[in-house]
A and B are shown apart, each in its own frame.
Chain A
Amino acid sequence: MTAEAIHPGIAPGSLDQPLAELAGISKAYPGVLANDAIDLVVEPGRIHALLGENGAGKSTLVKILYGLLSADSGTLRWQGADVTIDSPNTARRLGIAMVFQHFSLFDSLTVLENIALGMGVDADTDLATRIEDVSTRYGLPLDASRSVFELSVGERQRIEIVRCLLQDPKLLVMDEPTSVLTPAEVEQLFVTLRRLASEGVAILYISHKLEEIRVLCDTATILRSGRVVATASPADESAASLATLMMGENAPNGSSLAVSAPSSQGRSSLLRVNDLEVPASSSDAQSLSGITLSLVAGTITGIAGVAGNGQDELLAVLTGELTLSGLGKIRMGDTDVGELGVAQRRRLGLSAVPEERLGHGAVPNMSLSENAALTGFTRRGLARGGWLRTGAARHFAQEIIDRFDVRCDGPQSLAGSLSGGNLQKFVVGREVLQAPSVLVVSQPTWGVDAGAAAAIHAALRELANTGSAVLVISQDLDELMQLTDWLGALCAGRLSRFYPTASLDVQQVGLLMGGANALEGMESRA
């Protein structure tokens, strides 16, 4: 970290009195300190970024500011006076408005009716005129008479913004506003936000997207593990230096370029994805574009990325839960599997562990025997001639329990009664013991204790050592750095190039996660 990178306190330049001053805000949840003595000063007319990884405490902080949560300790000053914000109503009266990541709109009502409901006023022509005024003034085109279900996600967000603006806010809080927008909609939003700032409105902008913050924000407060680690002027920083601030420096730096790629000579690619495009299946799904990927026998490939950037969609399209129409995109060896369903791909040797254990990877209200048969019926012969071989399923479940040290009362225990770590060991064990040639694992150790995580990592490595190809999709950078041979990142549905993990540092992975497609001067492959 260079000295220039950090600007303690707010850069001088604004003569105005601070709008909001948060001092020593702390908030603890059982087992985690979400906010640890956070100081934050928001000035009028500035776009202020709140930057941090998932779980850094950004959302907790703004929820305290908006009155949705109460802080354990700390003070809040608004325009120089001490205030207590005990509810969103109080916050709105003070002039604080918030646009949430998830909208609260009624699909079957019109834009006008939705706004009227949110403000508690009548849906009359007066309101319609005001909506039109605000929307033309700030470049937020919106037809007040249309029903919400007809609108795109971007248009829905505009409703929320207009609803806030109608209340003449002094501070507008935006929680990850661009995560649902197309690039063109992002541009338009930025124009609106700059216009608002020029009129003196303060904007608190929550994001982990570094490039956005660099072009948009005047000031950035960076949180890590619930603490303010730096305050910076984003325009003076590079995306790389912001990434370092955001993620810390617990990784080797960029001098390790000399590390050679893991040997993949003479090894075959077991699964190949070639320039795959998948349109978004619903308004809250992410589209995938330009996905090119090759999984080599005996290696573990990792895909980093913040959740919601297309991980679920990628998993679905690889496993066959989402089948493609058309050939030439996904091949296993010589077989084109794009149009094959889950069971057919599994028969060819492609297994998967989805992120969600309960309800996706396992059925909570069924026994471990039945859950063993859930995927085992194809590759372990647990069904024959249409009959379920319940005895064989019980033996397979017992084998998983023994080999993976799953703590439970035996194969008849309900999957839902197991702890997260034990159920994950069971699900991973179920797939590993079927000896797949390709295993795709999403968030393998999410919500799992350290012991179980180590056991799962060991199982994945062992599977790769037997000649299988393993793909790990994860948000956990430590896990990826430790476990994988090759590493790339998924951002907004686009997959970066892949680099030998040993040659990367956390900062570079951060760049890839923030949307960089390739790193300069480094050996890579698609």
Chain B
Amino acid sequence: MSVILERRPTPSGLMGWLAPVLALVMTVAASVLLFLLLGLPAGAALHAFFIEPVSSRYGLAELAVKAAPLIMIGVALSIGFRAQVFNIGAEGQLILGGIAGGAVALALYPVNGWFVLPLMALAGIAGGMGWAAIPALLKTRFGANEILTSLMLTYVAVLLLSYMVTGPLRDPDGFNFPESRLFQSSALLPRILSGTRLHIGFPIAIAIALIGWVFLSRTLLGFALRINGEAPRAARFAGFNSGRLVWVALLIGGGVSGLAGLFEVAGPIGQLLPNISPGYGFTAIIVAFLGRLHPVGVVFAGLVMALSYLGGEAAQITMNLPVAVTGVFQGMLLFFLLAADVLINYRLRWSGKTRSITSSQP
């Protein structure tokens, strides 16, 4: 009895959507195995990781707080990935959005007014776009690979934030701590659920997912981006300028990531710190692929990945597990997703005879 991997005549559409579910199931199973190996009661650990964080109103609100940036960035990255533009530097664009938006709040301090937040949002978008414009320029002018340039710029962004909070934007009354002053009240995102940290970023993230969906399926530009990803020669044949599409894809990713960064500093954090994101920009890459690069799928994927952050924290507190458990969970999910994706193009066949695994090329 052996298993043969056999190429499907056409890719399976059903598997396209089942693969993430399969990956999730396998991740949970592997987590159980991991907990058992660590000598922990698997049931209790699973409860702590997956159930406890969302069993209260506060927990659900926290889930939405964490999901908001993941969904926003995941949708924006999906648009780029659909066009085969691989912006891996959303984390850096998020940080630049936070710096730019936060700087506006601090510059206006202590002015309060309705216009403060919109100005901060515009500055955040511009900051993220500006950071993403660098790989776009390098790609279109010199053919530099955007995967490398955008990723490397992330580390520059981290250092820039460090410089800002220890230098120009440091709290003058903060005893030399590397952080800015706390933002004035009108520079903070309105909370929408009392007793929780849930802010308007979450409904905006859902709106962005809907806009992204309409953009991809109904606008000429979204159409051009999809064609560019599916068949670049056909995009040229249709008359779409591929350089322009690279710019559009990167600016969308950068702008939305920047806005997400601004939402972090103006939302849950309320000031600029040396570290404003637990890697949302990188996790959003997993979110985008887990959500099948479809804005609606990304919403669900964002919630799942947000749970991994909360579950990791809860497991730290109740089970004494290290913080790395979040990274392990996210890594396993991506790993199993990539493995399950094989089933889109291949199917398993059980064979009575003992034979080696074969795969037939098309």
Residues in A lying within 8 Å of B, measured CB to CB: 319-321, 341-344, 346, 352, 354, 356, 358-366, 370, 373-375, 377-378, 383, 386-388, 390, 416-417
Are B237 and A366 in contact, CB atoms less than 8 angstroms apart? no
Q: How far is the CB of A392 from chain B (nearest CB, A)?
A: 12
| Complex Cα spacing A361 to B10, Å | 20
Are B218 and A390 in contact, CB atoms less than 8 angstroms apart? yes
Instruction: For A363, give its contact among B221, B227, B236 (CB under 8 Å).
Output: B227
| Complex Cα spacing A103 to B242, Å | 30
Are B220 and A387 in contact, CB atoms less than 8 angstroms apart? yes
Among A354, A358, A363: residue with most chain B CB under 10 A:
A363
| Complex Cα spacing A358 to B231, Å | 9
By beta carbon, the residue of chain B nearest A371 is: B234
Are B239 and A363 in contact, CB atoms less than 8 angstroms apart? no
Query: Beyond A360-B234, A377-B223: 16 further Cβ-contacts under 8 Å?
Result: A343-B240, A346-B239, A352-B237, A354-B237, A359-B231, A360-B237, A362-B234, A364-B230, A365-B230, A374-B227, A377-B220, A377-B238, A383-B220, A386-B221, A387-B220, A390-B218
| Complex Cα spacing A319 to B239, Å | 9
- Against A, the Cβ 8 Å flags (1 = close, 0 = not) of B43-79 are 0000000000000000000000000000000000000
Query: In the assembled complex, which residues on chain A have CB atoms less than 8 Å from the CB atom of B227?
Result: 363, 366, 374
| Complex Cα spacing A417 to B13, Å | 14
Instruction: For B237, give its contact among A342, A358, A365 (CB under 8 Å).
Output: A342
Among B220, B227, B239: residue with most chain A CB under 10 A:
B239
Q: Known: A362-B234, A374-B234, A388-B218. Contact between A320 and B239, CB under 8 A? A: yes
Q: Which 9 A-B pairs have the closest CB atoms?
A: A343-B239, A342-B239, A383-B220, A360-B233, A359-B231, A363-B231, A363-B230, A374-B238, A363-B234
Q: Known: A387-B218, A417-B10. Contact between A361 and B237, CB under 8 A? A: yes
| Complex Cα spacing A378 to B218, Å | 16
- B241 interface residue, CB < 8 Å from A? yes
Are A319 and B220 in contact, CB atoms less than 8 angstroms apart? no
- B318 interface residue, CB < 8 Å from A? no
- Against A, the Cβ 8 Å flags (1 = close, 0 = not) of B217-228 are 111111100110
Residues in B lying within 8 Å of A, measured CB to CB: 10, 217-223, 226-227, 230-231, 233-234, 236-241
Cross-chain pair count, CB within 8 angstroms: 69
Q: List 21 A-B contacts (CB under 8 A).
A: A321-B236, A341-B241, A342-B236, A343-B239, A352-B237, A359-B234, A360-B231, A362-B234, A364-B230, A366-B226, A374-B237, A374-B238, A375-B237, A375-B239, A377-B223, A377-B238, A378-B239, A386-B220, A387-B219, A388-B219, A388-B223
Query: In the assembled complex, which residues on chain B have CB atoms less than 8 Å from the CB atom of A375?
Result: 237-239
If over half of B's interface residues share one DSSP class (helix, strand or loop), that class is named, otherwise mixed; here it is helix
| Complex Cα spacing A362 to B231, Å | 8
| Complex Cα spacing A416 to B30, Å | 38
Among B222, B237, B239: residue with most chain A CB under 10 A:
B237
Q: How far is the CB of B271 from chain A (nearest CB, A)?
A: 40
Q: Known: A365-B230, A387-B218. Contact between A370 and B236, CB under 8 A? A: no
| Complex Cα spacing A359 to B217, Å | 20
Query: In the assembled complex, which residues on chain A have CB atoms less than 8 Å from the CB atom of B222?
Result: 388
By beta carbon, the residue of chain A nearest B11 is: A365
Query: In the assembled complex, which residues on chain B have CB atoms less than 8 Å from the CB atom of A416?
Result: 10
Are B230 and A366 in contact, CB atoms less than 8 angstroms apart? yes
By beta carbon, the residue of chain B nearest A373 is: B223
Query: In the assembled complex, which residues on chain B have CB atoms less than 8 Å from the CB atom of A373?
Result: 223
| Complex Cα spacing A374 to B10, Å | 23
Query: In the assembled complex, which residues on chain A have CB atoms less than 8 Å from the CB atom of B241?
Result: 341
Query: In the assembled complex, which residues on chain B have CB atoms less than 8 Å from the CB atom of A342?
Result: 236-239
If over half of A's interface residues share one DSSP class (helix, strand or loop), that class is named, otherwise mixed; here it is mixed
| Complex Cα spacing A186 to B191, Å | 77
Q: How far is the CB of B245 from chain A (nearest CB, A)?
A: 13
| Complex Cα spacing A358 to B234, Å | 9
| Complex Cα spacing A365 to B238, Å | 16
By beta carbon, the residue of chain A nearest B232 is: A359
Q: How far is the CB of B211 from chain A (nearest CB, A)?
A: 13
| Complex Cα spacing A363 to B227, Å | 7
Q: How far is the CB of A382 from chain B (nearest CB, A)?
A: 9
Are B233 and A356 in contact, CB atoms less than 8 angstroms apart? yes
Query: In the assembled complex, which residues on chain B have CB atoms less than 8 Å from the CB atom of A354?
Result: 237
Query: In the assembled complex, which residues on chain B have CB atoms less than 8 Å from the CB atom of A417?
Result: 10
Q: How far is the CB of A369 from chain B (nearest CB, A)?
A: 11
Query: In the assembled complex, which residues on chain A have CB atoms less than 8 Å from the CB atom of B236?
Result: 321, 342
Instruction: For A321, give its contact among B217, B218, B221, B237 (CB under 8 Å).
Output: B237
Query: In the assembled complex, which residues on chain A have CB atoms less than 8 Å from the CB atom of B221?
Result: 386
Among B218, B221, B236, B240: residue with most chain A CB under 10 A:
B236
Q: How far is the CB of B242 from chain A (nearest CB, A)?
A: 11
| Complex Cα spacing A385 to B249, Å | 20
| Complex Cα spacing A352 to B217, Å | 26
Query: In the assembled complex, which residues on chain B have CB atoms less than 8 Å from the CB atom of A358?
Result: 231
Query: In the assembled complex, which residues on chain A have CB atoms less than 8 Å from the CB atom of B231?
Result: 358-360, 363-364
By beta carbon, the residue of chain A nearest B10 is: A417
Query: In the assembled complex, which residues on chain A have CB atoms less than 8 Å from the CB atom of B219?
Result: 386-388
| Complex Cα spacing A375 to B231, Å | 14
Query: In the assembled complex, which residues on chain B have CB atoms less than 8 Å from the CB atom of A320?
Result: 239
| Complex Cα spacing A83 to B219, Å | 65
Q: How far is the CB of A111 from chain B (nearest CB, A)?
A: 26
| Complex Cα spacing A319 to B236, Å | 10
By beta carbon, the residue of chain A nearest B226 is: A366
Query: In the assembled complex, which residues on chain B have CB atoms less than 8 Å from the CB atom of A346?
Result: 239
| Complex Cα spacing A359 to B219, Å | 21
Query: In the assembled complex, which residues on chain B have CB atoms less than 8 Å from the CB atom of A387?
Result: 218-220
Q: How far is the CB of A77 from chain B (nearest CB, A)?
A: 35
Query: In the assembled complex, which residues on chain A have CB atoms less than 8 Å from the CB atom of B233?
Result: 356, 359-360
| Complex Cα spacing A61 to B222, Å | 50
Q: How far is the CB of B356 from chain A (nearest CB, A)?
A: 22
| Complex Cα spacing A417 to B219, Å | 25
Are B223 and A341 in contact, CB atoms less than 8 angstroms apart? no
Are B220 and A388 in contact, CB atoms less than 8 angstroms apart? yes
By beta carbon, the residue of chain A nearest B220 is: A383
Q: How far is the CB of A291 from chain B (nearest CB, A)?
A: 20
Q: How far is the CB of A379 from chain B (nearest CB, A)?
A: 11
Query: In the assembled complex, which residues on chain A have CB atoms less than 8 Å from the CB atom of B217?
Result: 390
By beta carbon, the residue of chain A nearest B221 is: A386
By beta carbon, the residue of chain B nearest A340 is: B239
